[in-house]
Structure 1
Amino acid sequence: MADRKRNGRTGAGKPSATGSAPGVSADNSDGGYNAGMAVFSYIIGGIIVWSLIGWGLDYLWGTRWIVLAGALLGAAGGFYLSHMHGLTSHRNTAGKSGADSGPSADGNTNAK
């Protein structure tokens, strides 16, 4: 049971869902490309959506500055969203954390 939990796999041998961001595999074997594309998509998507909202408000209210504020808000929101999904943090490329070291090399886990 503990071995399945450590490997991040279910009983059927498939990777378990860990709730990570879209496009990022559970075992972090993507080399960072998928995470980079997700960050790029969040930021560009935020800029486009909030710029269109700003453009619409500019049209309704007769102003010209809200579209720029919308673009800046969209970029900041996209970066925040990607940060909250853990895409901008440092990842261990070996797929293991420092705390998940497993048993000792000699196999004696109760050594003192």
Structure 2
Amino acid sequence: MSKDKHPGKNEPGTPEPMPGPAAVPGENSDGGYNAGMAVFSYIIGGIIVWSLIGWGLDYLWGTRWIVLAGALLGAAGGFYLSHMHGLTSSRKPTGGNGAASGPSEDGNSNAK
């Protein structure tokens, strides 16, 4: 009698293949990391810059609350910038051909 071979099962003693994006070399596997760092930089940069502006205005005007308003404005502005750059969207283009990827496949364009 012979042993039944089950497709998808490894022989005993052979290592299992690694799942996930790490198993696909050559792909842009750090795109999520880069986008996350860009979002973090926009938000932290906005908070720092607008807090310093608020601190300066507080010093000039003798108030104490503009630095907090500057920090909130900087965080909102950083998130807005990252959203406008398309870094906060979790949607991916479907079908592989987006409108911004180039001319249509048949070569026709709307320009006349």
TM-score scaled by structure 2?
Answer: 0.58
The separation in 1 between residues aligned to 2:38 and 2:87, in whole angstroms, is 8
2:96 is the counterpart of 1:100: yes
The separation in 1 between residues aligned to 2:35 and 2:96, in whole angstroms, is 23
- How far 1:44 sits from its partner (Å)? 0.2
The separation in 2 between residues aligned to 1:45 and 1:59, in whole angstroms, is 21
Residue 106 of structure 2 corresponds to which residue in structure 1?
none
Identify unmatched segments of 5+ residues in structure 1. Answer: 1-27, 102-112
Residue 22 of structure 2 corresponds to which residue in structure 1?
none
Aligned partner of 2:70: which letter? G
The separation in 1 between residues aligned to 2:86 and 2:75, in whole angstroms, is 17
Residue-pair matches, total: 70
TM-score scaled by structure 1?
Answer: 0.58
- How far 1:99 sits from its partner (Å)? 2.8
SS in 2 for 1:32: helix
Residue 43 of structure 1 corresponds to which residue in structure 2?
43
Moved >2 Å (runs of 4+):
none
Q: Is the radius of gyration larger for structure 1 or structure 2? A: 2
Question: Over aligned residue pairs, what C-alpha RMSD do you find?
Answer: 1.7
- How far 1:90 sits from its partner (Å)? 1.2
- How far 1:98 sits from its partner (Å)? 1.8
